[in-house]
Structure 1
Amino acid sequence: MSPDFLLICFIVVASPGTGALYTMAAGLGQGRAASLLAAFACTLGIVPHLAAAMLGLAAVLHASALAYETLRYAGVAYLLYMAWQVLRADGPLRITPEAARLRPGRVIADGILLNLLNPKLSIFFVAFLPQFIAPAEPAVLLRMMEMSAVFMAMTFVVFALYGLFAAAIRGQLAARPAILAWMRRGFAAAFVALGAKLAMSER
């Protein structure tokens, strides 16, 4: 793998976004196990986009305004739903002083859907991966799979670190309900902002 490819992957993955926000919320709300599950789920949510890029489906998504808009607004709606869930004091991503019961299925489902319903990811991979494949490459599909595996591994590691950090400070925040309430509002506002950004984005 070229240093340029690895650097760009790291910048893309480490930039604060939906996945990073979700793993941090999971870590704060439910602890280390939830943060790792969230990181794993967000990584799994990349797989359909990579498959679409490899099969050429992303090109169809890019060409079809209706398909793109449908997926985009489904993503916006889900981000707003996540904002509402985080804001609720008794929601599944609640940030509470008490130890929250881990709900693995819910954590994984939410993490997968957050990435799955982002059409920008498919188009990103169509535009991104081919730049690092030599014109004379005899096994293009294999090379794309290798680069995708590296990108996914980096995604999991970086998101897991975000989530574990959040879980580590959870105990220090547990005795400060006022701060936790403001953090819930902050996470909810961030999800709303990401939804607005996706809604106003162009193909």
Structure 2
Amino acid sequence: MSFTFLLTTLVVVVTPGTGVVYTLAAGLTHGRRAGVVAAFGCTLATLPHLFAAVTGLAALLHAGTVAFTVVKYLGAAYLLYMAWAMLRDRSALVVDPEAAPRSTSRLIGSAVLVNLFNPKPALFFLAFLPQFVAAGDVRAMLRLGAVFMALTFVVFTAYGLGAAALRKRLPQHPGLLTGMRRGFAACFVALSLRLAVA
């Protein structure tokens, strides 16, 4: 495993995308546990991308323009739905220590759906990862894929815990929470448009 691979992987993971936005929102709204669970769910969502890359399905999907376009627009539509839900639900970013915690399965399910349609891991496994393994070396691809997943979990957990650390200060600034809710919704819209035109 080369330094170039590690550095590029870290840059890809750290760059904010749909998974980061979701993890930040979970940490801000529901605290440390939710931030870590969201990070785990987003990491779990990279498994199908790795499996597709290993089996060659990603290349076939990318070559088949109709199938690729359908998947792409489904992802864009889901991100728009997330933006609409964030704007519609005024409790989406409300810090309430007395509120019941969100269930682990729901947090993971939403995280998986959000990051499953994220083009970033798909492009990583399709275009970048094969450059570092010999043709047909499935074991090496799995090993490097595991490194990507480990870095994803560590970085996303840091995002989630960092967001959770801000929770105690946010109730004193309700206007800030409203602005953040709109900001997250705008991020989902921007990511949806980027996915649709990519």
Instruction: With the length of structure 1 as denominator, give the TM-score of the two structures.
Output: 0.91
Where does the alignment leave 5 or more consecutive residues of structure 1 unmatched?
Answer: none
Question: In 2, are the aligned partners of 1:72 and 1:118 still within 8 Å (CA)?
Answer: no
Q: Distance in 2 between matches of 1:18 and 1:25?
A: 11
Structure-1 residue corresponding to 2:106: 106
Structure-2 residue corresponding to 1:161: 158
- Taking the TM superposition and a 5 Å limit, the aligned residue runs for 1:107-186 are 107-118=107-118, 121-134=121-134, 140-186=137-183
Structure-2 residue corresponding to 1:65: 65
* SS of corresponding position for 2:166: helix
Structure-1 residue corresponding to 2:85: 85
Aligned: 1:7 with 2:7:
yes
* SS of corresponding position for 1:171: coil
User: Structure 1 residue 174: deviation in Å?
Assistant: 1.5
What per-residue deviation string (whole Å, max 9, x for no partner) do you get for residues 1-38 of structure 1?
21010000000000011111110010011111111111
One-letter code aligned to 2:157: A
Where does the alignment leave 5 or more consecutive residues of structure 2 unmatched?
Answer: none
Q: Distance in 2 between matches of 1:70 and 1:120?
A: 17
- Flag the 1:120–1:67 CA change in 2: closer, same or farther, 3 A: farther
What per-residue deviation string (whole Å, max 9, x for no partner) do you get for residues 28-61 of structure 1?
1111111111100000000001000000101111
Instruction: With the length of structure 2 as denominator, give the TM-score of the two structures.
Output: 0.93
Question: In 2, are the aligned partners of 1:53 and 1:123 still within 8 Å (CA)?
Answer: no
* SS of corresponding position for 1:170: coil
Identity %: 53
User: Structure 1 residue 134: deviation in Å?
Assistant: 4.3
Question: In 2, are the aligned partners of 1:68 and 1:119 still within 8 Å (CA)?
Answer: no
Q: Distance in 2 between matches of 1:122 and 1:50?
A: 8
What per-residue deviation string (whole Å, max 9, x for no partner) do you get for residues 132-179 of structure 1?
1246xxx71111111011000000000010111000001101221111
Question: In 2, are the aligned partners of 1:71 and 1:119 still within 8 Å (CA)?
Answer: no
Q: Distance in 2 between matches of 1:48 and 1:36?
A: 20
User: Structure 1 residue 129: deviation in Å?
Assistant: 1.3
* SS of corresponding position for 2:94: coil
Q: Distance in 1 between matches of 2:147 and 2:120?
A: 19
Q: CA RMSD in A?
A: 1.5
User: Structure 1 residue 117: deviation in Å?
Assistant: 2.1
Question: In 1, are the aligned partners of 2:87 and 2:185 still within 8 Å (CA)?
Answer: yes
User: Structure 1 residue 110: deviation in Å?
Assistant: 1.0
User: Structure 1 residue 123: deviation in Å?
Assistant: 4.0
Q: Distance in 2 between matches of 1:165 and 1:153?
A: 18
- Flag the 1:181–1:119 CA change in 2: closer, same or farther, 3 A: closer
Question: In 1, are the aligned partners of 2:41 and 2:111 still within 8 Å (CA)?
Answer: yes
- Aligned residue pairs, count: 196
